[in-house]
């Protein structure tokens, strides 16, 4: 599976290394291309997953604001509900980033 923006690869992983959370494919941080994420100041806490960390995705054509997020320390109940530990896996906004 690949994530890209404007034809530029952002992340890539074998399908069996992807964790799906609420219908969204998530990639391990280590599967992202170095330098594509820039920390965003946007705060968010999901009631069932916990505190999220947002990132802007940088591409050769510009910046996609808040187009990626992860849960550095998800709640244990969320890990149990998903069936996999998704700590520090990154999800992408489907309206800004193509994942296929």
pTM (2 d.p.): 0.95
Angstrom distances, CA of residue 47 to CA of 43, 44, 62 = 13, 10, 32
- pLDDT tens profile 18-54: 999 999 999 999 999 999 999 999 999 999 999 999 9
52-77 pLDDT tens trace = 999 999 999 899 999 999 999 999 99
Cβ contact 92:5 at 8 Å: no
- CB under 8 Å, gap of 24 or more: what pairs does 27-32 form? 27/1, 27/3, 27/89, 27/90, 28/88, 28/89, 28/90, 29/70, 29/88, 29/89, 29/90, 32/90
Domain residues for the domain of 14 are: 2-99
CATH code of the domain containing 71: 2.170.150.40
Q: Per the structure, how many domains does the chain have? A: 1
Query: Residue 93 has what pLDDT?
Result: 98
């Amino acid at each position: 599976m690949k994530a890209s923006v404007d034809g530029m690869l952002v992340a890539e992983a074998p399908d069996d290394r992807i964790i799906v959370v609420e219908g969204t494919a998530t990639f391990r941080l280590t599967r992202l291309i170095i330098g594509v994420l820039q920390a965003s100041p946007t705060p968010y806490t999901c009631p069932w997953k916990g505190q999220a960390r947002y990132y802007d995705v940088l591409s050769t054509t510009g910046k996609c604001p808040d187009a990626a997020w992860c849960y550095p320390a998800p709640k244990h109940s969320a890990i149990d509900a998903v069936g996999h530990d998704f700590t520090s896996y990154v999800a992408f906004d489907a309206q800004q980033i193509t994942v296929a």
